[in-house]
Amino acid sequence: MSGSPRIRLARREMLQAAAALGGVAALQGMASVFGMAVRPAHAQALGTVSTLRSTSKSWLWGSEDFGVAKRYFESGGLRVVQASTERGVNHDALLAGAADIVLGAPIQNIRVQMRNQPVVMFCAMVNKYASNVVIKKEIADRLGVTEQSPTADKGRALRGLRLGTTGPGAGPDQLLRWFMRRGGVNPDREAQLTPVRGGPAMVAAMQRNQLDGFCLSSPTSDVAVQRAGATYVANMATNPPAELSDFVYIAASASRKTMEEKGPQLTAYCRGTALALKQIHENPDDFKTWARAWFSDMEESLFELAYRNNVPIYMRAPIMTEAQYKTQADFLNEDQQAMGQPAIPANFGFKDAFELRFVEAALRQLG
């Protein structure tokens, strides 16, 4: 299938951005920007880590953004410097030393580890696969599919559609493929999965009839429902398939080198995250007040919808369990098999994927 000129341009822009960010020299330059963003005296006094995520503003990063705003990281002696790339997979930044921490999907990290790269997860944040699938309401109505439909029906409804993702191998791309496989749809032959750079571009492409739907987190999916004639096929925060109901979707990763050089900072990062998660669950009104200001450009009705959809996604403590790792491994092995790629090695397990010492030390500090 061939996309429209506008979508082809978006794809080309994304590839250019990936190339610009993927080179070691460029990433090292990016690291210098991180350094310039911090006043030397302040950084030296507090200790600093730089973090990287795919999009600048999303509920997926809520625990970190809330923790920064409430100074939970600073209370442990840490300054967090944040940046985003508008692309799905960013582990090359860790390998090049351009960022200390990358926030993203554990499956992405395990794939990198399977290539013998020294990056490891150490702090978990979100345990719902909170990339949501939306398609044009007219298509959903014609097919008789709703958010309450069986998983297989949802997958079949995606046949032949032009669907936006954040790029190959990223969480939204993998989730679309997961649904389609359950509906007997071949993602590579019976649909068009198109990388689109950024949430606003996803919504705009639907409004211009260049996409029939997409998979992305809130608030972009909520905006599409309210403003682009979309409807939810899968709201993964409030009504996930049973197999994915406890699925760690966002975790923090670091390189082995950073773990050896910045252990106290990573412990402080886990501590700040734990405090943020605790406050989200124990004082949701405080979190809602912060979120209302953070998403200040969102109209009230849209904010209320997004807030209700996203409060359930956050973990109570920032630590992945072996059972959660098994869910990750099963999901990844199915995806690998579908692509004709090798499964996770038999000798690779939970403790290879997730380093516990920093989060365990942080939780001991908090009692």
- The domain segmentation of the chain, as residue ranges, is 11-128+247-366, 130-244
pLDDT at position 31: 31
DSSP sequence for 216-283: E-TTHHHHHHHHSSEEEEE-TTTS--GGGTT---EEEEEEHHHHHH-HHHHHHHHHHHHHHHHHHHH-
> Among all chains, which residue has been given the structure tokens 């999965």?
193
Hey, what amino acid is at 275? L
Contact present, 232 and 94 (Cβ < 8 Å): no
Per-residue tokens: 63: 């625990």
C-alpha span between 315 and 72 (Å, rounded): 17
The C-alpha atoms of residue 336 and residue 198 are separated, in whole angstroms, by 26
Specify the CATH number of the domain 130-244. 3.40.190.10
- Indicate the pTM of the whole model: 0.79
pLDDT of residue 26: 31
Same topology between domain 11-128+247-366 and domain 130-244: yes
- Cβ neighbours, 10 Å, residue 2: 7
Output DSSP code: residue 37.
T
pLDDT for 85 equals 80
The number of angstroms, rounded, from the C-alpha of 88 to the middle of its chain's C-alpha atoms is: 8
Judge contact between 50 and 34, C-beta under 8 A.
yes
CATH code 3.40.190.10 for 11-128+247-366: yes
Run means of pLDDT, 10 residues per run, the chain, 367 residues:
35 33 30 31 62 88 97 96 79 84 91 91 95 96 96 97 89 93 95 90 95 92 92 92 93 96 96 98 96 92 89 94 95 91 94 96 94
Provide the angle, in degrees to the nearest 10, between the axes of the packed helices 322-338 and 106-114.
70
Count CB-CB contacts under 10 A for residue 347: 6
Cis-peptide into 219, omega within 30 deg: yes
> What per-residue confidence (pLDDT) applies to 54?
83
Query: Cα dihedral sign for 119, 124, 127, 130?
Result: negative
Q: In the numeric block, which tokens belong to residue 275?
A: 């405090």
CA angle centred on 338, ends 336 and 343, rounded to 5°? 25
